[in-house]
Structures are given as C-alpha cells and as structure tokens.
Amino acid sequence: MKPFDYQRATDADSAIATVSRDPEARYIGGGTNLVDHMKLGVTQPGKLVDITRLPYDSVESLPDGRVRIGATVRNSDLAAEPVIRQRYPLLAQALLSGASGQLRNLATTGGNLLQRTRCPYFQDVTTPCNKREPGSGCSALEGWNRHHAVLGASERCVATHPSDMAVALAALDADVLVEGPDGQRTVPVTELHRLPGDEPEQDTVLRHGELVTAVELPPLPFAVRSRYRKVRDRASYAFALVSVAAAVEVSDGAITEARIAFGGLAHKPWRATAAERALHGAPATEETFRAAADAELAEAETLRDNEFKIPMTRNTLAAVLRELTQQEGS
C-alpha cells in the first residue's frame, strides 16, 4: 500500500479545503470499501481526511415532515432508528440486507452511497478495466458477467452499483445534501449516480472535494407500506443479483401511487419510471405487475451470463407487489 498522510477532520470547512486543494486526498468514513481498495491497489490516495467525528451522526425529524439523516450515521443505527422502521420500512430492510452485522456497524450513510462496484475485474488490478484505468478496456463484456448490468450499460462498462440502501433511497426520491468549496447544493439521489457512457470512471456527479453531509427523505405517507426484497446467490451476506424497492397505495382495487426502484441491474440504482406509469390507475393484478416489469425491461440488453436477470426481475417485482397490495386489501 502506498504511504499516506492521515488527518482527523474537526470541522467540515477545513476538511473540504484540505481535500479540494489536493487531488490525491480522499475523505474516509467507515472505510469498509476504501480500506479494501487501498489494500488491493484499486485506489492509492496520498492523504486521508477522516470525517467520522464531524457532527453528522444524527437522524432528525424536521418540522415539515422530512427526515434528515446525517452522513456519518452508521448503517446499523439507521436501520434500527424507530422513525425509519415505522415510516420507511423499505429503507430499514434495504440496509439490513446489506453486508454483515459487523460491517453495518462501521459503514456510514455517505460511504454507502459512494461505495464502488464489486465487478471482479474492477477489483483485480491485473485485468483491464475502464472504470479503474480509463481506456484499458472492459474485461467483463466478454468475460464473467453474471452480476453485470442489463439496463443503461455502455460498451465501456457493464458494472452494477452494489448499494441496497441507495435503491430504497431512489424509490423514496431522497435528496443528497452536499457541501463543497463553492458552497452547498442538493442533488436528488436519482441524479447522484451516473450511467457509464464514455466515462465509467465517474461513478457520480460529485466533484473532487465535495462532501456528502446528509440525506433527506420526503414525508411520503404511503411508504409505511413498502418493501425491499433482494435475490442473491446465498441467503445472506451477498450482493444482489436483482433487488426491488417498492411502495404502493391501493384504492378500490386500483393502484393510485407507486414508487419502484431496482438494484443489481444497472450502473446506478434504477428508478423504474416506466413501470410506475404502467401501474398508475391499473388494477392490482398479476397481469398489471408483469406488464409493469416488462415496460421497464423493454430496453434491457443481456450479456452471456445474465439473461436470468430478466425473468428474475419480473418475478421479484410481481412477488413484492402481490405482497404489498394483498396487505393493503386485507
């Protein structure tokens, strides 16, 4: 591992100033992804600025009904938070489906959003990877691509985003609060992560030196009836092959509100707007659920090893919607 300088940030302004002026500097939160990447040689920062002791470690219910989650709130604490369990069960479930108990105790909200793909070629510095080394090629295109993208991929990169939490946040239309050298801005979580296009090395729209300080959830009353379901190669402690985050409202047997996002399918958490349009106003039936999945997957392109994701996504969405709408009817 390359030697690096370590600084513990005591206030956000100086942390942002330090990282902004040094292209080799990086923020570190829980470290569960970054420390691993430093061991693997995937990234070699010259300086780490530890932001875990900044005052971003609380979850607040705001007067306007929104909920603000500090960037350094640990994944385990967020999943256990009563307001999240009551009002946004899909978010608690998504967090609890990720990693393991000992990793969730370290991992932070901001770090979870900014974790990088688990594509094995990205993590193996002996193989070409456009995300790790722009222009070197994509080993997954013709290689082992069982876990890779079927939506929104490019010839340069077919990696998927690994976060479960971010999929739930995308369904909820959460906002990400960011501070940078030029002040604050708010980025909708659905616009935080990019599709790979010609620059797969850029996971997000954040600029060097910008710091995620919080995530805000809108009130969204119907999210009390919501679900995150994850399908994977083993029952626990594995990344998603496919996951579904969903919240729906049903009135007189028809769907009046629907929020759907998919994980494991794309370079970013995939907000399924075509599926939502197909659900709106439609009867809560198996045909509707499957038609909604098909509407979203119409543009899907599969690779050698991941064709199974298409029926798996259709079946998982239908199962989640069946469960949620039956609950509603009973």
Partner 1 sequence: MDSEITLRVDGRRETLSVDTRTTLLDALRERLGVTSPKKGCDHGQCGACTVLLDGRRATSCLTFAVANEHSEVVTAEGLAEKDEPHPVQQALLDNDGFQCGYCTPGQVCSAVGMLDEVKSGWPSYVTDDLEEPVELDEDEIRERMSGNLCRCGAYANIVTAIREAAE
Query: Shortest Cβ distance from residue 8 to partner 1 (Å)?
Result: 7
Query: Between 68 and 107, how does the x/- string for binding to partner 1 read (CB under 8 A)?
Result: --------x--xx----xx--x--xx--xx-xxxxx-xx-
When the beta carbons of 247 and 303 are compared against partner 1, the nearer one is: 247
Q: Does 188 bind partner 1 (CB under 8 A)?
A: no
Q: What angle do CA 187, 31, 67 make, to 5 degrees?
A: 40
Long-range contact pairs involving 25-31 (C-beta distance under 8 Å, separation at least 24): 25/49, 27/51, 27/211, 28/52, 29/71, 29/72, 29/107, 29/108, 29/110, 29/111, 30/74, 30/106, 30/107, 30/108, 30/111, 31/106, 31/111
Q: Does 220 bind partner 1 (CB under 8 A)?
A: no
When the beta carbons of 178 and 242 are compared against partner 1, the nearer one is: 242
Phi, psi of 263 (to 5 degrees): -115, 160
DSSP state of 285: S
Token pair recorded at residue 168: 């739930």
Closest CA to 198 of 253, 243, 244, 157: 157
Q: Does 197 bind partner 1 (CB under 8 A)?
A: no
Q: What angle do CA 317, 318, 321 make, to 5 degrees?
A: 85
Query: Shortest Cβ distance from residue 229 to partner 1 (Å)?
Result: 10
Query: Between 294 and 323, how does the x/- string for binding to partner 1 read (CB under 8 A)?
Result: ------------------------------
Q: Which stretch binds partner 1 (CB under 8 A): 11-19, 35-43, 58-66, 195-203?
A: 35-43
Query: Shortest Cβ distance from residue 55 to partner 1 (Å)?
Result: 17
Query: Shortest Cβ distance from residue 56 to partner 1 (Å)?
Result: 16
Q: What are the beta bridge partners of residue 227?
A: 246
CA 176: distance to chain centroid?
12
Q: Which stretch binds partner 1 (CB under 8 A): 28-36, 168-176, 305-313, 315-323?
A: 28-36
Closest CA to 7 of 51, 70, 55: 51
Query: Between 221 and 260, how does the x/- string for binding to partner 1 read (CB under 8 A)?
Result: ---------x----xxx-----------------------
Q: Which stretch binds partner 1 (CB under 8 A): 32-40, 144-152, 215-223, 259-267?
A: 32-40
# binding residues, partner 1 (CB under 8 A): 38
When the beta carbons of 237 and 308 are compared against partner 1, the nearer one is: 237
- 147, 306 Cβ separation under 8 angstroms: yes
Q: In whole angstroms, what is the distance from residue 310 CA to residue 218 CA? A: 31
| Range 41-70, binding partner 1 (CB under 8 A) | 48, 50, 52
- Residues in contact with partner 1 by CB under 8 A are 1, 3-6, 8, 28, 30-32, 35-36, 38-39, 48, 50, 52, 76, 79-80, 85-86, 89, 92-93, 96-97, 99-103, 105-106, 230, 235-237
